[in-house]
Structure 1
Amino acid sequence: MYIPRTLEVHLAAASQHFPVVLLTGARQVGKTTLLRHASQPDRGYVTLDDPLVLQLARSDPALFLQRFPPPVLIDEIQYAPGLLPLIKLAVDRAGANGLFWLTGSQQFHLMQGVSESLAGRAAVLHLLGLSRWERQGRGLESTPFVPAPAELLRRARLSSPLNLKELYRLIWRGSLPAIALHDAVERDLFYGSYVQTYLQRDVRDLARVGDELAFLRFVRAVAARTAQLLNLTALARDADIAPNTAKHWLSILQAAGIVYLLEPYHQNVTKRLVKTPKLYLLDTGLAAYLTEWASPETLEAGAMGDAIFETWIVAEILKSYWHSARRAPLYYYRDKDQREIDLMIVQDGTIYPIEIKKTASPHARDAQHFRVLNSLGMPVGTGGIICLAEQCLPLTETVWVIPAWVV
């Protein structure tokens, strides 16, 4: 069963304007499915997960490209970065667009090779798991999220409501298509296999991990701290590793599309703003599995109920930008007086502040810190409190109540 992805339209546009399109994202988010669905019959397909094909790509990349000529889709290009210089020569000779479609699950070394060999020749797109809009079959109608009243009302009109139980079931199972679209897939079995075959093979090997148990402890510590300020010292302590090792492993998880670091908003005009990023595990199902929540009900009622809700909201907003082939202008605000704003969307020179609250009855005081933005010298647009309310309604003249299912 194929679900239309928001990125489809932007993929077609990128292929018309660039000779190479690189689609990055974690394993199992649907990169190959999307590209094969969008491919014309004349586009070949080859995967470097095949050991014999990989050996040819590494030992004789020129022969590889003769055997698999463009237009072609090459899956998991990071296993043979030596192909990139030859792809550059091929596109320069051909002088045409849409020749090579590439996928990559690990950006750590791949992006360096792309920037060196394919600068100006490659469109780089990012894919995450299924967004709620895509699950509803409305992926092609999704647009980058901004809490402007007209946009909120459009989203409320097109999206179907979710109650608390339904929402946390979505959060608990996660957004990877193989489990999100098939209720019969057993959740613990799926994520157990995912951790073993992906996190403990691909990512561990990339990070040159010697102690497998320490790496698993580290990944679990990261999951337990989703939606919190990054604290490398605490992560290193929990995994019993050196802080430098924790920093390196975290950069690998970030490059592999597992972790997202939300940067703080700061300006040179003030020195009182916190400059530590916030940490998010991008798939809430993986986060719930790693932190051993056995059911959606225990997850919702437990100690991580609020953090996992915030993580899901941030991931959905991030998808709305990345799946529209846009940079995500997302930040958070926190100063040394402990005044914090969960999320800020900075677009066209305007700040849109957002609070994320696991409550069905938001209050105007939940948005009280929005006032500090007036000191930044930038226009402040409509703010929002994303929560568990049932309706999309104005709370004050400048703040709206936004149900989670509208995002």
Structure 2
Amino acid sequence: MLEEPELFWRDQRGLVVLDEVHRLQNPSEVLKIAADHFPNVKVVATGSSTLAARQKFKDSLAGRKQEVWLVPMIAADLVDFRAVDLERRMLHGGLPPFFLADRVVDKDYEEWLSSYWAKDLSELFVVDKRSSFMKFVELVFAQSGGLFEAQAFAAPCEISRPTVQHYLSILETTLLATVLRPYSGGAAAEIKSQPKVYAFDTGFVAYHRGWDSLRDEDRGQLLEHLVLGEMLARFGAARVHYWRDKQRHEVDFVLEVGRRRDLVAIECKSSARKLDPSGLQAFRRRYPAGRNIVVTLHDTDQGSRRVGGLEVELVPYLRLPKLLEAWRASATAKG
């Protein structure tokens, strides 16, 4: 039907949805013709996370498209589903079939990853050893949110360090992992290159860590993933970092906001009483200007307070989207 795009588009009106568009023989040509010659047709083209990696996607469609990164369920989705259950969201994950299931069994995660290998990975990348790659995925998910050291993955996966880096680039390209680069102003005491890697979904993290219930410390770690998803959905990955110095002071996230790239420091804690301000203090000694946000799971953790000589804003996770939207709107208006 789409072998002759002009004939196809001539018969279309209004909104047209093309699902799995990356499976077309020449998807960029089909979309380019619609954008250039059929202005009354609006196209929503959905595709695999590997869309950008398809070699046959020959045209960038610059100026003709707006990309939307569909991350697993964010707070707004929980509201739309009328199921604002953060414990369930963290443990089941943010893929709707998993989140909505009364009980998610292990084979559901295993089958999803098998499908990923068959549909996304094998069509695009040359990976000689399936067992090594899947072991790498398992380890990345189990260690999600931690500092990434390539050499530590080489021996258990039985691959070389360059292959580890290649596998990581595959996960990043296919959006199964987010590689978070450190923020650095160039000081010798700062970590400048070692990334942190986050798995794309909390359900897979819980599965690979063997969690079927959550302790308070587990919730704090998974909250980082939820907060990261909120930021990625609005700002993309380029403006989101973490910060760490060589004395092991750390800030979970540093978000660059607006044209001036104001530095917002964000810490994620299951509750405000878990906050150790030493990371924020070290960061603000180096970068004094900017807001300090502590995101928690408790609605009662709200308002500003002085902690360790810093002005800190406590924000419950479900109220974070409103704050992020305000920053994005402000940046858009100024831009």
Give the shorter-chain TM-score range.
0.7 to 0.9
Say yes or no: does 1:107 pair with 2:50: yes
CA contact (8 A) 2:74 2:226 kept: no
CA contact (8 A) 1:265 1:333 kept: yes
Q: 1:119 aligns with which of 58, 62, 67?
A: 62
In 2, Cα distance between equivalents of 1:68 and 1:259:
36
Structure 2 residue aligned with 1:283? 201
User: What residue identity is the alignment partner of 1:296?
Assistant: S
- Return the offset for 1:112: 6.9
- Return the offset for 1:68: 6.3
In 2, Cα distance between equivalents of 1:187 and 1:404:
27
Structure 1 residue aligned with 2:327? none
Counterparts of 1:132-171 in structure 2 under 5 Å? 132-137=75-80, 167-171=86-90
- Return the offset for 1:111: 7.1
CA contact (8 A) 2:93 2:202 kept: yes
Secondary structure of 1:122's aligned partner: coil
- Return the offset for 1:288: 1.7
In 2, Cα distance between equivalents of 1:97 and 1:238:
55
Deviations 1:288-326 (A, max 9, x none): 223333x124xx378x6653342233224433x15xxx6
In 1, Cα distance between equivalents of 2:250 and 2:61:
41
- Return the offset for 1:113: 6.2
Structure 1 residue aligned with 2:264? 352
Structure 2 residue aligned with 1:128? 71
Say yes or no: does 1:308 pair with 2:222: yes
Counterparts of 1:3-402 in structure 2 under 5 Å? 61=3, 63=4, 66-67=7-8, 70=12, 72-80=16-24, 82-94=26-38, 96=39, 98-107=41-50, 109-110=52-53, 116-137=59-80, 167-180=86-99, 182-184=100-102, 186-268=104-186, 270-274=187-191, 275-293=193-211, 295-297=212-214, 300=215, 306-319=220-233, 321=234, 329-348=239-258, 349=260, 350-359=262-271, 361-363=273-275, 366-374=276-284, 376=286, 379-381=289-291, 383-389=292-298, 390-396=300-306, 398-402=311-315
Q: 1:234 to 1:126 in 2, by over 3 A?
A: same
- Return the offset for 1:199: 3.7
Deviations 1:109-166 (A, max 9, x none): 4477667341221211111121123212299xxxxxxxxxxxxxxxxxxx97xxxxx5
In 1, Cα distance between equivalents of 2:209 and 2:168:
17
Q: 1:327 to 1:138 in 2, by over 3 A?
A: farther
RMSD (Å), alpha carbons: 3.2
Secondary structure of 1:311's aligned partner: helix
- Unmatched segments (≥5 aa) in structure 1: 1-55, 140-158, 161-165
In 2, Cα distance between equivalents of 1:367 and 1:223:
28
Secondary structure of 2:265's aligned partner: strand
The structure whose RCO (Cα within 8 Å, separation 6+) is larger is 1
Q: 1:112 to 1:120 in 2, by over 3 A?
A: farther
Deviations 1:202-242 (A, max 9, x none): 22442322322222111101101201112222223222122
- Return the offset for 1:81: 5.5
CA contact (8 A) 2:178 2:200 kept: yes
- Return the offset for 1:388: 4.4
User: What residue identity is the alignment partner of 2:72?
Assistant: G
In 2, Cα distance between equivalents of 1:191 and 1:248:
24
- Return the offset for 1:167: 3.5
In 2, Cα distance between equivalents of 1:103 and 1:112:
17
TM-score, reference length from structure 2:
0.79
Structure 2 residue aligned with 1:163? none
User: What residue identity is the alignment partner of 2:88?
Assistant: R
In 2, Cα distance between equivalents of 1:284 and 1:73:
29
In 2, Cα distance between equivalents of 1:73 and 1:167:
32
- Paired-residue identity, %: 24
Equivalences, count = 310
